[in-house]
Amino acid sequence: MTDLLFSGIRDEYLAIASSVLYAGTLVSIRRGMLGGTPLAALLTVNSIVAAGGLTAAALRGTLFTTAFAPLLWFAVVGVFAQGIGTLTHYTGIERMGVSRSTSIQSSSPLWGIVFAVIALGERPGVAVVAGTMTIVAGVALLAYPEEDDGGGGWFRGALVFPVISSVAYAFVPIFAKFAFIHQQTPLLGFGVAFTAGTLTMLAGRRLLPRGGKIEADFNSMAFFAGAGLLNLGGSILFWSALVTGDVIIILPISRLYPLWVLILSVLFLGRQEKISIRVVLAGGMVVVGGVLVTVFQ
């Protein structure tokens, strides 16, 4: 059984394209956050992606003919990523600041390589390991603050939250691979995953800072809806790449989105974004890491 939309395109190219769309998602969410809360953004985006995936799966004939085992794995992906991963990420932001928390959370490709070697038997070459570490370092440098963001004393207990988030997101391609052993249905996969993740997020919303308020004006909802459509496209590409691509290649490349966020922010957010030598250096590291993983694998 399959609902693949792409054939004859290199998995690496699909992953790169997905990172560009994910970057557009983040920029749109940032614009919408001027009049809306983070949970409103996440629920809007996740609902659109879930509905899009399930609708596409129904049209392709896989929604009502799926086996139970892959369906369970897809649901577990959502619980780990959009559920546990998101909840702990936002808790880490509240406890230790957005920049430091995001820097630590960005280590998920390193965990992903470890899990892929243990669970899937994949064997990364020197270039893949070096490229992945360079991407992670560049992303961390992009996320780290120019000045202190008020996260003093952040080692006292708060570190566990972004670490848990990074591990949770690293499990996503592993569990997806387990499901794809039974059937190659990426559209059904992310549709079920985002549905399960949204339900988990709603169940745990009280654990979020200030109880996870859901508020947004019309303008913000328009940006959130646009972010959802971009994320839907990115999910189609990323999950399609995972069907036949190696996790040790696809996961690091998909994390190139901070570089595209930087470029899109300069183009569309204007003076809201400050470009420094550190930011340019970090962007260069991400590019070099991507080249190592893609070309010299």
DSSP string of 141-166, one letter each residue: HHHS-SS--S-TTTTSSTTHHHHHHH
Q: What contacts 249, CB < 8 A, 6 or more positions away?
A: 11, 12, 15, 128, 293, 294, 297
Q: What is the pLDDT of residue 129?
A: 84
Contacts 24+ apart (CB under 8 A), 146-153: 146/274, 146/276, 146/278, 149/97, 149/98, 149/99, 149/100, 150/97, 151/96, 151/97, 151/99, 151/100
CA dihedral defined by 106, 234, 290, 9, rounded to 10 degrees? 150
DSSP string of 187-251, one letter each residue: HHHHHHHHHHHHHHHHHTGGGSGGG----B-HHHHHHHHHHHHHHHHHHHHHHHHHHHS-HHHHH
Q: What is the pLDDT of residue 146?
A: 55
Q: What is the pLDDT of residue 192?
A: 97
Mean pLDDT by 10 residues, the chain (297 residues): 82 91 85 85 93 96 93 95 83 65 74 89 85 79 57 56 87 94 95 94 75 85 95 95 91 80 67 62 74 63
Contacts 24+ apart (CB under 8 A), 116-119: 116/173, 116/174, 116/246, 116/247, 116/248, 116/251, 117/248, 119/174, 119/177
